[in-house]
C-alpha cells in the first residue's frame, strides 16, 4: 500500500502549520500529513487547490500543479500532461475550484499519480461533499 493511502492522504500533502479538518495530529509520518479517513484526505486536496485559486490567483491545472508538484521535486510536465489527458481539460484553461465537474476528475487524476492506483470514486465524492458543505 502506498504511503498516501496508508496515511489517508491521497494527495501526499506535506506536514505544515496548516491544519485541515479530519487531520490526525500529530501525524505518525515524519514528512506527510495523516487524516482520519480517505474522505478527509480528499477534502484537504480540494481545500488546498481552492486556496491556490483564492490566495494565489492560480486558475489552471498547469499553474496549480507547478506549485503543488514543483520541478525541483517532481516531473511536473508529465504530471500536468497526465492530469490533462485523464480529465480532458486543457492544462491552461481556467478551472472552477467550486465545481465538482472540474475538481473531482482533477483530484482523482492527482491521486492516481501520487499513489499509483485508481482513486475510489466514492471516497473522492465523499471528500467533495465535506468540502462543498462548508
Instruction: Kindly report, residue by residue over 78-129, the tens digit of the pLDDT.
Output: 999 999 999 999 999 999 999 999 999 999 999 999 999 999 999 999 999 9
- Total structural domains within the chain: 1
* Residue range of the domain that includes 94: 3-132
Nearest Cα residue to 100 out of 120, 124, 84, 79: 124
Question: What DSSP line would sit under 60-126, residue for residue?
Answer: BHHHHHHHHS-TTTS-HHHHHHHHHHHH---TTSB--TT-HHHHHHHHHHHHHHHHSS---HHHHHH
22 torsion bin: left (phi>0), alpha (psi -120 to 50), beta (else): left
pLDDT for 134 beyond 90: no
| Angle at the Cα of 29 from the Cα atoms of 63 and 78, rounded to 5 degrees | 30
Query: Could you tell me the pTM of the whole model?
Result: 0.96
How far, rounded to the nearest angstrom, does the alpha carbon of residue 15 sit from its chain's CA centroid? 14
Q: How far is Cα 113 from Cα 70, in angstroms, rounded to an integer?
A: 14
Amino acid at each position: 500500500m502506498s504511503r498516501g493511502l496508508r496515511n489517508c492522504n491521497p494527495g501526499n500533502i506535506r506536514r505544515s502549520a496548516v491544519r485541515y479538518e479530519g487531520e490526525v495530529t500529530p501525524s505518525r509520518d515524519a514528512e506527510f500529513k495523516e487524516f482520519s479517513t480517505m474522505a478527509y484526505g480528499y477534502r484537504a486536496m480540494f481545500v488546498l487547490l481552492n486556496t491556490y485559486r483564492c490566495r494565489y490567483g492560480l486558475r489552471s491545472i498547469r499553474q496549480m500543479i507547478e506549485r503543488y508538484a514543483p520541478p525541483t521535486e517532481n516531473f511536473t510536465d508529465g504530471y500536468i500532461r497526465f492530469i490533462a489527458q485523464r480529465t480532458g481539460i486543457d492544462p491552461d484553461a481556467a478551472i472552477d475550484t467550486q465545481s465538482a465537474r472540474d475538481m473531482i476528475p482533477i483530484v482523482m487524476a492527482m491521486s492516481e499519480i501520487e499513489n499509483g492506483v485508481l482513486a475510489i470514486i466514492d471516497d473522492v465524492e465523499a471528500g467533495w461533499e465535506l468540502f462543498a458543505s462548508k
